[in-house]
Amino acid sequence: MSEILKGKVAIVTGSGQGIGRAVAEDLAAHGAKILVVDPGLSLDGNVENVSLADEVVEGIIKAGGEAKSNKSSVASFESGQEIVQDAIDSFGRLDIVVTVAGILRDRMIFNMTEEEWHDVIDVHLTGTFSIVRHAAPIFRAQKSGRIITFSSGSGLFGNPGQSNYAAAKAGIAGFTKVVGKDLGKYGVTANTIAPRADTRMTASVPEEYKKKSSTPFKDSRDPRDIAPFVTYLASDYSAPINAQVFEVWGGTINQLTLPRPTVTLFNPLSKGRFKTDDFDVEGRGMLFGFGEKNNISDKPLDGQVAVVTGSGRGIGRGIALELSKLGANIVVNDVGAKLDGSGNDVGPAQSVVEEISELGGKAVASTASVASVAGGKQIIDKALEEFGRLDIVVTPAGILRDRMIFNMTKEEWQDVIDVHLTGTFSVVAPASKIFKEQKSGRIITFSSVSGLIGYSGQSNYGAAKDGIAGFTRVVAKELGKYGITANAISPGANTRMTESIPDSTRAMRAGTFKPAEEDHFLYDPDDVAPVVGWLCTDSASHVNGEVVHAVGNRVSLFNKYEVLRSVRKSGRWSVEELANAIPETLGRDLINPAPPQE
């Protein structure tokens, strides 16, 4: 083995067995000193074998390396801080973090418990944040560092029975894209890997889903096959690779396409604003395709009941009004909080209820918070109590707590995850039980380009919003056979949330094109509503599992994750082979979205 990592120090979480162990051993074999982090838990989170980390350390030392064990859980902000400090205290520096730690709590969405949801989100998503957040100031100060996180095909492509796991793993992908942009100018890179390997986690996946994801080729599924690419990303060889998503197994390394709008429908200003029925003709003809059903009324949602969270203002308000216009009875849910989440005021929700009533519709206000499972159930119960049924849930409720990763607080992270990610689950889970029984329903969640593409300064928001996209992919697959659809909206509009973004952050996102002399774009929050309304109708019954970007007079479909480039060999790669192969294959024309600055 080479000594390309000589003098480097790495933290590897979940490194007592499986992929994490293979990574720790490979990094050590290439010269790195390793903090082996593993509390020795069973797959369901109970203490099983506390000596796992010690055994890995013993093996590394016997092989001539240096290592120390740490048996802390990654699932809290404080434990992440303690783990990073342990690396500094033990080895004097920190250069690499690899976050492999994970558990499973698989369950279909209509049966998933609050504990199953939180346990998986805490270990995978918050566990990744807790380590990266405390490593980030160190990497920023020394102007170097490597962050390798672990996503999963479950989140990127969607595996039934894993909505919690998919939300966490897609959230990690969104988080990593943002962190790469937060830290790239300091010479730090952040990339994520979706591995395929036979481990104790994959052993628990039902055979029917394994068969669906298998290939006709007998590729290796040895966890050790993942390690060389991790070591490559941890080395100086990989310096230009940043904010990318890879899929790795056996001798295959795939660079995946990042989510982008692939087909866009533009409505010229001369035609006015989009209307819901525009999507029956142009929308289906140019964007969504045609299904088997058609809308036969100008009120295609007549008699149906919809819950719309965060509908006291902005985008949510426009959706509530649009669904009412299409005939639905509305539960207008809004806690009436300020943008930072503080306060509680029934005024915004009640104002929209009155507006709907004045227009001849029916609506009721709800001020329950989506940030808890109990609150989500209260909102769904409100619909049943007031209107006797439920047909549609739309979840645009949100807050912002923007901060660069190296300054983000525990509260800023948790508040955003609770409102956006858990807030989506808390409403969709109880609704899914009703929809499954009646064999119909529409679920419209809200993602964002902040996670899908990755916007600097929003690692919490990006994690939540890409997590919602992953969650929606799984829910769509779980519920599709019951006549239910689930799609995600990535909205764009001038709202109080977007108005709070600092000018310095806007400048970082600015493009390089010369601005047009005439502005032909609209950005009104009400313009998101028509496509949401249409997705709730019969005409859209064939649209399921999509991410739709809606901003003003433009509506686009996002691509799904696909292989952009691939490099393959028979057998396991070596790091030196990768150092030769990557630049002229995956690395060709690769652009670092946040290159180092002097």
| Ranges assigned E (strand) in 135-203 | 145-150, 188-195
**Cα separation of 510 and 94, whole Å?**
33
Asked whether 465 and 507 are in contact (CB, 8 A), the reply is no
Question: Could you give the domains of the chain?
Answer: 9-256+562-584 (3.40.50.720), 267-293+300-502+515-558 (3.40.50.720)
**Cα separation of 275 and 529, whole Å?**
9
Type of residue at 173: A
**Cα separation of 97 and 100, whole Å?**
10
Asked whether 378 and 366 are in contact (CB, 8 A), the reply is yes
Q: Which of 392, 438, 431, 413 is nearest to 536 (CA)?
A: 392
Asked whether 168 and 70 are in contact (CB, 8 A), the reply is no
**Cα separation of 201 and 197, whole Å?**
9
**Cα separation of 38 and 50, whole Å?**
8
Catalytic annotation on 523? no
Asked whether 452 and 466 are in contact (CB, 8 A), the reply is yes
Q: Which of 552, 556, 557, 490 is nearest to 520 (CA)?
A: 552
Angle at the Cα of 398 from the Cα atoms of 309 and 500, rounded to 5 degrees: 135
Q: Is the pTM of this model over 0.85?
A: yes
Asked whether 240 and 542 are in contact (CB, 8 A), the reply is no
**Cα separation of 495 and 506, whole Å?**
15
Q: Which of 27, 78, 33, 66 is nearest to 413 (CA)?
A: 78
- Please report how the helices 227-234 and 18-29 are oriented relative to each other, as an axis angle in degrees rounded to 10: 50
**Cα separation of 523 and 549, whole Å?**
13
Angle at the Cα of 77 from the Cα atoms of 594 and 409, rounded to 5 degrees: 60
Catalytic annotation on 169? yes
3-class SS of residue 587: coil
Q: Which of 186, 257, 307, 313 is nearest to 564 (CA)?
A: 257
Cβ atoms within 10 Å of 46's Cβ, excluding its own: 9
**Cα separation of 105 and 43, whole Å?**
8
Bin 552: left if φ > 0, else alpha if -120 < ψ < 50, else beta.
left
Q: Which of 240, 231, 239, 238 is nearest to 5 (CA)?
A: 231
pLDDT of residue 520: 87
Per-position DSSP letters for 302-318, written without gaps between them: TT-EEEEETTTSHHHHH
Q: Name the active-site residue from 33, 68, 165, 382.
A: 165
In 96-158, which residue ranges form alpha helices assigned H by DSSP?
114-120, 127-142, 153
Type of residue at 67: A
pLDDT of residue 41: 79
Task: Tokens 């959230």: give the residue.
Answer: 171
Q: Name the active-site residue from 68, 169, 325, 477.
A: 169
Which helix (DSSP H) or strand (DSSP E) does residue 580 occupy? helix 575-581
Which helix (DSSP H) or strand (DSSP E) does residue 564 occupy? strand 563-568
Task: Tokens 């006549």: give the residue.
Answer: 483
Note down pLDDT in tens along the chain; length 598 residues. 679 999 999 999 999 999 999 999 999 999 999 999 999 977 666 767 889 999 999 999 999 999 999 999 999 999 999 999 999 999 999 999 999 999 999 999 999 999 999 999 999 999 999 999 999 999 999 999 999 999 999 999 999 999 999 999 999 999 999 999 999 999 999 999 999 988 655 555 555 555 444 444 457 789 999 999 999 999 999 999 999 999 999 999 999 999 999 999 999 988 888 999 999 999 999 999 999 999 989 999 999 999 999 999 999 999 999 999 999 999 999 998 766 656 678 899 999 999 999 999 999 999 999 999 999 999 999 999 999 999 999 999 999 999 999 999 999 999 999 999 999 999 999 999 999 999 999 999 999 999 999 999 999 999 999 999 999 999 999 999 999 999 999 999 755 555 555 565 545 555 567 888 888 888 899 999 999 999 999 999 999 999 999 999 999 999 999 999 999 999 999 999 999 999 999 999 899 999 999 7
Task: Tokens 């790239």: give the residue.
Answer: 184
Measure CA 481 to chain center.
24
Per-position DSSP letters for 102-117, written without gaps between them: -----B-TTT--HHHH
Asked whether 481 and 320 are in contact (CB, 8 A), the reply is no
Q: 245 - beta bridge partners? A: 192
Say which DSSP state 545 is in.
S
The two counts, helices (H) then strands (E), for the chain are: 22, 18
**Cα separation of 533 and 106, whole Å?**
32
pLDDT of residue 67: 98
| Ranges assigned E (strand) in 38-128 | 67-70, 96-99
